Amino acid sequence: MTTSTFSPPTKLFIAGQWVDGPNKVTVRNKYTGEIAHELSGAGPDEVNRAVAAAKAAFPLMASMPIYKRADILRKTSELLAQNRAEIAKCVAREVGKAVKYAGFEVDRAVDTFRLAAEEAAQIHGETIPIDAVKSGEGLFGFWHRKPLGVVGAITPFNFPLNLAAHKIAPALAAGNTLVLKPAEATSLTGAWIVALLEQAGLPPGAINMVHGKGSVLGDVLVKHPDVAKITFTGSLEVGLHILANAGMKKVTLELGNSSPVIIAEDADLKAAAAKVAIGANYCSGQVCISTQRVYVASAIYEPFKKLLLEEVAKLKVGDPLDPETDVGPLIFEKDAIRVEEWIKEAVAQGATLLTGGQRKAGLLQPAVLENTKPTMKVISQEVFGPACSLIKCDTFDDALRQADDTNYGLQAAVFTRDIERVFQAIKGLNFGGVVINDAPHLRPDMIPYGGNRQSGMGREGLRFAIEEMTSIQTVMFRTGHSR
Ligand code: NAD
pLDDT digits (tens, 9 = 90+) for 312-363: 999 999 999 999 999 999 999 999 999 999 999 999 999 999 999 999 999 9
Cβ(215) – ligand 1 distance below 6 Å: yes
Average pLDDT, the chain: 97
Cα-only R_g, the chain: 24
pLDDT per position as a tens digit, 198-220: 999 999 999 999 999 999 999 99
E-strand ranges in 155-241 read 177-181, 207-209, 227-233
**Residue 349 half-sphere exposure, CB side, CA atoms within 13 Å?**
17
Span 391-400, average pLDDT: 98
pLDDT of residue 5: 77
For residue 97, CA distances in Å to 14, 72, 328, 330, 467 come to 29, 29, 6, 8, 32
Contacts with 68 (C-beta within 8 Å, 6 or more apart), sequence order? none
Spell 233-259 as b/e; 16+ CB within 10 A means b.
bbbbebbebbeeebeebbbbbbbbbbb
pLDDT tens digits for range 163-180: 999 999 999 999 999 999
Q: Residue 212 C-alpha to ligand 1 middle, in angstroms?
A: 13
The string of pLDDT tens digits covering residues 224-251 is 999 999 999 999 999 999 999 999 999 9
Looking at residue 483, what is its pLDDT? 59
Q: Is residue 474 very low, low, confident or very high in pLDDT (cuts 50, 70, 90)? A: very high
More confident residue, 5 or 22: 22
pLDDT of 117-167, one tens digit each? 999 999 999 999 999 999 999 999 999 999 999 999 999 999 999 999 999
Kindly state the average pLDDT of the residues 48-69.
98
3-class SS shares of the chain: helix, strand, coil, % to 5: 45, 25, 35
Q: Which of 46, 184, 198, 254 is catalytic?
A: 254
- The pLDDT assigned to 276 comes to 98
The amino acid at 11: K
Please tell me if the CB atom of residue 235 comes closer than 6 angstroms to any atom of ligand 1: yes
Above 90 in pLDDT, residue 481? no
| pLDDT category of residue 479 using cuts at 50, 70 and 90 | confident
pLDDT score of 470: 98
**Residue whose CA is closest, atom 15 of ligand 1?**
214
* Whether residue 409 has its Cβ less than 6 Å from ligand 1: no
% of the chain with per-residue pLDDT over 70? 99
Q: Check if 209 has its Cβ closer than 6 Å to any atom of ligand 1.
A: no
pLDDT digit string (tens) for 403-421? 999 999 999 999 999 999 9
Q: What is the pTM of this model?
A: 0.97
Looking from the CA of residue 237, the nearest atom of ligand 1 is: 2
Measure the CA–CA gap between 139 and 144, rounded to whole angstroms: 17
Cβ(234) – ligand 1 distance below 6 Å: yes
Q: Which of 191, 166, 192, 200 is closest to 85 using CA atoms? A: 192
Query: Would you place residue 4 in the very low, low, confident or very high pLDDT band (cuts 50, 70, 90)?
Result: low
Q: Whose CA is nearest to atom 34 of ligand 1?
A: 256
Nearest residue by C-alpha to atom 26 in ligand 1: 156
Q: Given this model, what pLDDT does residue 1 score?
A: 46
- What one-letter code names the amino acid at 395? T
Q: Is 311 a catalytic residue?
A: no
Nearest protein CA to atom 32 of ligand 1, as residue: 235
For 470, list phi and psi in degrees, rounded to 5.
-135, 160
Atom of ligand 1 nearest to the CA of 451: 41
Residue 2 has pLDDT above 90, yes or no: no
pLDDT tens by residue, 175-201: 999 999 999 999 999 999 999 999 999
Catalytically annotated residue among 90, 283, 288, 388: 288
Asked if residues 306 and 274 have their Cβ atoms less than 8 Å apart, the reply is no
Say yes or no to pLDDT of 292 above 50: yes
Told to judge if 254 belongs to the known catalytic residues of this protein, a careful annotator would answer: yes
Quote the CA–CA distance of 279 and 388 in Å, as a whole number: 10
